[in-house]
A and B are shown apart, each in its own frame.
Chain A
Amino acid sequence: AQSVSQHNHHVILSEAASLELGCNYSYGGTVNLFWYVQYPGQHLQLLLKYFSGDPLVKGIKGFEAEFIKSKFSFNLRKPSVQWSDTAEYFCAVTGGATNKLIFGTGTLLAVQP
Chain B
Amino acid sequence: DTGVSQDPRHKITKRGQNVTFRCDPISEHNRLYWYRQTLGQGPEFLTYFQNEAQLEKSRLLSDRFSAERPKGSFSTLEIQRTEQGDSAMYLCASSLGGTFITSEQFFGPGTRLTVL
Contacts and interface: CB of A to CB of B under 8 A. Distances in A.
Interface of A: 4, 32, 34, 36, 42-46, 49, 51, 90, 92, 94, 96-106
Contact of B48 (A32, A90, A100): A100
Contact of A106 (B41, B45, B56, B104): B41
Interface stretch (B65-73, B78-86, B93-101): B93-101
Contacts of A44: 43, 91, 93, 107
Contacts of B50: 98
B56 A100 contact: yes
Given A99-B31, A105-B41, A43 B108 contact: yes
Given A92-B42, A105-B40, A105-B42, A99 B104 contact: no
| Ranked 6 nearest A-B pairs via Cβ | A103-B42, A44-B107, A100-B45, A43-B109, A32-B102, A98-B48
Contacts of A36: 107
Nearest to A88: B42
B55 A98 contact: yes
Nearest to A91: B42
A97 B43 contact: no
Contacts of B106: 46
A38 to B, nearest CB: 9
Given A97-B100, A99-B103, A106-B42, 5 more contacts: A32-B102, A34-B104, A99-B95, A100-B33, A102-B45
